[in-house]
Amino acid sequence: MNKLGSIIILFVFCMTTAKAEDGSRLWLRSEMPTDITLSIDSTMPDDDGYRISGKTITARTQMGLLYGKYALLRGEQGESHPYFKYRILNHWDNLDGTIERGYAGESIFWSLTPAPSPRERGDHINKYAEACASVGINGTVLNNVNASPKMLTPIYINKVKEIADILRPWGIRVYLSVNFGSPKALGEVKTADPLNPQVRKWWKKKTREIYKLIPDFGGFLVKANSEGQPGPFDYGRTHADGANMLADALKPYGGIVMWRSFVYGAKHQGEDRVKQAVSEFAELDGQFRDNVILQSKNGPLDFQPREPYAPIFDQMKKTPQMAELQITQEYLGQSKHLVYLAPMWEEFFGYVEPSRLVGIAGVANIGLDTNWCGHHFSQANWYAFGRLAWDPTLTSEQIAKEWLSQTFGNEKGKMKNEEISTVITSLLLRSHEACVNYMMPLGLHHIFKFDHHMGPEPDGFKADYPIEWCPVYYHRANKDSIGVDRSSTGTNATGQYREPYRSLYDNIKTCPEEYLLWFHRVPWTYRMESGLTLWDEIQRHYNRGVAEVDDFAYIWQQTKPCIDEQRWQEVDECLRFQQKDARLWRDTCLKYFGSFLSSE
Ligand code: GCW
């Protein structure tokens, strides 16, 4: 058959299968088969894994059986066990219903009174829980790490109990972000000094109060002495003093403390920002209680489109660690750009072996929007996070295919047309690299617009703010060169890495070009691997990024007959915006950087 013939047949075929969809059902559109056989086998390994043979699911626990059902639905056979013990979403939700870095509407948990209480929102929270459980997520932090002390008042603890009751049947434990200054801020103790007996007593009492209502409460997540948050440093104490105080309060109940290493501008103010976490925490290794987990962002700066891995994962040898990934696209086009994040996370696990971690946390991209995540394709990032938390050896491609067939396939969860599935999968897989290229290729970083982080501002400088908040600090372009020397001749950030990466990154000749301007200060005329000068290569990357997005928009046009109308339209609109925005990024950055070259 000729090509036109096959396209017409494809068109007619697809037209008969497409029907109205608004994205609210996420990837859970397939019918659960009714003839599944479930059986418990107490000899299986002691976790929530499952074994699937035909339509028989065997597991050691009830949760294992539930996980097995969703696995069967996505076509799995054989045995599977969760890799990480802690597979946790972090919601940066505020008690007034707003979400820090949220791009999909208001919080599903919190709202200003007299808006609905969690119980009244039960159905919605229940659906959220099912979606999480379907990919194996087993914990959730219900509030922003920039935590309000009010979170620990009885009225809110009671709301947490309501939420915990809804999530429990889905195997999801609740955790809370706590404000380290709470005892003082709530006016109950005069200080929040972690070595003060009154303060320690306060936390013990508060913890008891929580466990009385929520016996399976998971524990606390803490952002301390970072970006203005209170912490032990305010009292001349260390992070270990602070974390251990909370750990002692939680220990009798089996709770954990997830203590964040995202600190800068406190004790090591003035040092290269990407070095500060290691400077602060490495000397504390070995001093934390065994129920403290250090939680660190994947990169040493802040969820940039591409960062080298954070060397703190190399430095903490005795402290259990978790990686924090950002599912919400704060720095990746928010919910306007189609960017599939699994390839970025896969890259991270290529450097930081999962065996060094006890868990992973993902900053959620979920809100009250009908489609939960703002962009229909942002749902793939929630899905991918869960799947990688269960099995970090899965490839981005495999996850993309699974998600796609369940989200855009027919009732049986299958894309009926292989060709469409292949092109959309390739679009997903190329989307992260495209974003890096049109935003900040070759190791450029943090040249975002001030505060809201949408769009470019490479010339950003505000005298009133710390220099680490100004884009110019991160590229330092002048008429000769661009980039930050973080090698041994500069800030020596490379010295924080384990070998072979230390040497590899330290030498400009061996540093992978994707991290070049992160680790090195490079003359505009420097010859790149391609033979082009650095400046020509930068232009080539920006242009490539734009061309990729144009191609995505073209591909999407071809899929129209096969995708239900509403979702197709909404994605199409976003892609048009992304095309414009990619151009804005390219043009703004090339004009600005180019001005240094022409000023000679
Ligand atoms: O990147 C910054 C974000 C802040 C966030 C902070 C953090 C919750 O812009 O919004 O605060 O990281 O991770 O603590």
Write the DSSP assignment of 64-121 as a string of letters: HHHHHHHHHHTT--EEE--S-SEEEEE--B-TTS-BTT--SSS-SS---TTSPPTTTT
Taking every pair of C-alpha atoms in the chain, what is the biggest distance, in angstroms? 82
Reference 458, options 446, 443, 442, 441; nearest CA is 446
Do 37 and 100 belong to one domain?
Answer: no
How many Å apart are CA 14 and CA 285, to the nearest integer?
A: 58
Distance CA(286)–CA(301), nearest Å, equals 24
Q: Taking CA 522 as the corner, what is the angle to CA 520 and CA 528, rounded to the nearest 5 degrees?
A: 105
Same domain, 92 and 241: yes
Residue 223 alpha carbon, nearest atom of ligand 1: 14
Which residue's alpha carbon is nearest to atom 13 within ligand 1? 262
Whether 222 and 246 have beta carbons less than 8 Å apart is answered as yes
Question: Does 398 lie in the same domain as 431?
Answer: no
Pick from 146, 276, 297 the residue to mutate for probing ligand 1's pocket: most ligand atoms within 8 Å of its CB.
146
How far is residue 331 from each of residues 16, 180, 212, measured CA to CA in Å? 39, 27, 40
Residue appearing with tokens 């799995």: 76
Atom of ligand 1 nearest to the CA of 146: 8
Residue 116 DSSP code: P
Which ligand 1 atom is nearest residue 100's CA?
Answer: 10
Which atom from ligand 1 is nearest to the alpha carbon of 226? 14
- Residues in contact with 363: Cβ distance below 8 Å, sequence separation at least 6, in sequence order: 89, 90, 92, 101, 303, 324, 325, 326, 327, 328
Question: pLDDT at position 17, please?
Answer: 46
Q: Which two tokens stand for residue 201?
A: 């007593």
Q: Nearest C-alpha to atom 1 of ligand 1 is from which residue?
A: 302
Residue 261 CA to its chain's centroid (Å): 16
Is 193 touching ligand 1 by the criterion CB < 6 Å?
A: no
Task: Give the angle 255-258-261 at the CA atoms, nearest 5°.
Answer: 165
Which of 227, 347, 419, 459 is catalytic? The answer is 227
Out of 225, 227, 326, 448, mutate this one to test ligand 1's pocket (max ligand atoms within 8 Å of CB): namely 227
Atom of ligand 1 minimally distant from the CA of 330: 9
Q: How far is the CA of 99 from the centre of ligand 1 (A)?
A: 12
pLDDT, position 413: 63
Assign residue 444 the CATH number of its domain: 3.90.1330.10
Alpha-carbon distance 494 to 138, whole Å? 36
**What pLDDT score does 266 carry?**
81
Alpha helix (H) residue ranges in 372-471: 379-390, 396-408, 418-439
Q: Is the CB of residue 488 below 6 angstroms from any atom belonging to ligand 1?
A: no
pLDDT number for residue 7:
41
Q: Is 98 in the pocket of ligand 1 (CB under 6 A)?
A: no
Atom number of ligand 1 nearest to Cα 303? 1
Taking the C-alpha atoms of residue 535 and residue 524, their distance in angstroms, rounded to an integer, is 5
**Which residue range forms the structural domain that includes residue 30?**
19-77
Answer for the pair 414, 404: CB distance below 8 angstroms, yes or no.
Answer: no
**The domain spanning residue 145 has which CATH number?**
3.20.20.80
295 part of a folded domain? yes
Catalytic-labelled residue, pool 93, 241, 330, 485: 330
Q: Which residue has the tokens 């894309």?
A: 415
Q: Are residues 449 and 354 part of one domain?
A: no
Distance from Cα 273 to the centre of ligand 1, integer Å = 14
Is 539 found in the same domain as 440? yes
DSSP one-letter string for 33-71: PS--EEEE-TTS-SSS-EEEETTEEEESSHHHHHHHHHH
Q: Which structure tokens are listed for 293?
A: 């987990």
β-pair type (321-326, 173-177):
unpaired
**Residues linked to residue 56 through DSSP beta bridges, in sequence order:** 37, 53
Q: What pLDDT is attached to residue 599?
A: 61
CA 115 to CA 127: how far, in whole Å?
A: 19
**Domain-located, residue 525:** yes
**How many angstroms separate the alpha carbon of residue 466 from the centre of ligand 1?**
15
How many A from CA of 540 to the centre of ligand 1?
32
End-to-end distance of the chain based on CA atoms, in angstroms? 61
pTM of the model: 0.96
Cis geometry, peptide bond prior to residue 500 (ω within 30 degrees of 0): yes
Indicate if 7 and 33 belong to the same structural domain. Answer: no
* C-alpha 145 – ligand 1 centre gap (Å): 8
56-59/50-53 β-pairing: antiparallel
Q: How far apart, in Å, are the Cα atoms of 539 and each of 197, 321, 598?
A: 60, 39, 15
Query: What's the 97 CA to ligand 1 centre distance in angstroms?
Result: 17
Map residue 42 onto helix, strand or coil.
Answer: coil
227 annotated active-site = yes
Do residues 402 and 414 touch, judged by C-beta distance below 8 A? no
Computed from CA positions of residues 266, 271, 274, 276, in that sequence, does the dihedral angle turn out positive or negative? Answer: negative
* Residue 471 included in any domain: yes
Last residue of a domain, which of 77, 100, 125?
Answer: 77
- Tokens linked to 513: 């070009």
Task: Please say if 188 is a catalytic residue.
Answer: no
> Is 138 in the same domain as 171?
yes
Number of domains in the chain: 3
d(CA 559, CA 579): 18
Residue 498 lies in a domain: no
Tell me the C-alpha distance between 187 and 195, whole Å. Answer: 18
Residue 491 lies inside a defined structural domain of this protein? no
- Ligand 1 atom 11: residue of nearest CA: 146
Distance CA 578, CA 595 (A): 25
| Burial class, 592, CB count within 10 angstroms (exposed 0-12 / middle 13-18 / buried 19+) | middle
pLDDT of amino acid 15: 46
Q: Among 225, 330, 468, say which to mutate for ligand 1: greatest number of ligand atoms within 8 Å of CB.
A: 330
The Cα–Cα gap between 166 and 295 comes to: 27
Same domain membership, residue 596 and residue 530: yes
* Dihedral sign computed on CA atoms, order 82, 377, 544, 516: negative
Query: Which atom of ligand 1 is nearest the CA belonging to 92?
Result: 8
In a shared domain, residues 403 and 442: no
Pairing of strands 173-177, 78-80: unpaired
State the virtual CA torsion across 495, 496, 499, 501 in degrees, nearest 10: -90
Judge whether 330 counts as a catalytic residue.
yes
Helix (H, G, I), strand (E, B) or coil at 337: coil
8 Å CB contact between 243 and 289: yes
The answer on 67 and 98 residing in a single domain is: no
Q: What are the structure tokens assigned to 310, written together?
A: 């954070």
Token pair for residue 203?
Answer: 């936390």
Tell me the CA–centroid distance for residue 357 and ligand 1, in Å: 22
Is 330 part of a structural domain of the chain? yes
If one residue of 91, 98, 101 were mutated to test the ligand 1 pocket, choosing by the most ligand atoms within 8 A of its CB, it would be 101
Nearest CA to ligand 1 atom 2: 302
Q: How far apart are CA 553 and CA 113, in angstroms?
A: 42
How many Å apart are CA 101 and CA 327, to the nearest integer?
A: 10
Q: Does residue 506 form part of some domain?
A: no
Q: Is residue 210 part of a domain?
A: yes
Residue 195: both structure tokens together:
């070595």
- Which of 424, 360, 399 minimizes the C-alpha distance to 563? 424
Answer whether 223 contacts ligand 1 (Cβ < 6 A): yes
Distance of CA 424 to the CA centre of its chain: 22
Which of 356, 375, 409 is a domain's end point?
Answer: 409
Query: Is the CB of 264 within 6 Å of ligand 1?
Result: no
Q: pLDDT (tens digit, 9 = 90+) per residue, 460-484?
A: 999 888 888 899 999 999 999 999 9
Tell whether 366 and 464 lie within a shared domain: no
What is the token pair recorded at 430? 């190329």
What three-state secondary structure class fits 515? helix
Among 436, 455, 426, CA closest to 577: 455
SS3 432: helix
Structure-token match 């090509």, residue found: 3
In short, whether 101's Cβ falls inside 6 Å of ligand 1 is: yes
Do 14 and 29 belong to one domain? Answer: no
Q: Is 254 left (phi over 0), alpha (psi -120 to 50) or beta?
A: left
Three-state SS at 351: helix
* Residue ranges, the chain, pLDDT below 50: 1-18
User: Which domain-ending residue is among 409, 430, 464?
Assistant: 409
CA of 330 to the centre of ligand 1 (A): 9
Report pLDDT for 281: 98
Residue to substitute in 259, 295, 302, 327 for testing ligand 1 pocket (most ligand atoms within 8 angstroms of CB): 302
Alpha helices in 74-196 (DSSP H): 122-134, 154-167, 182-185
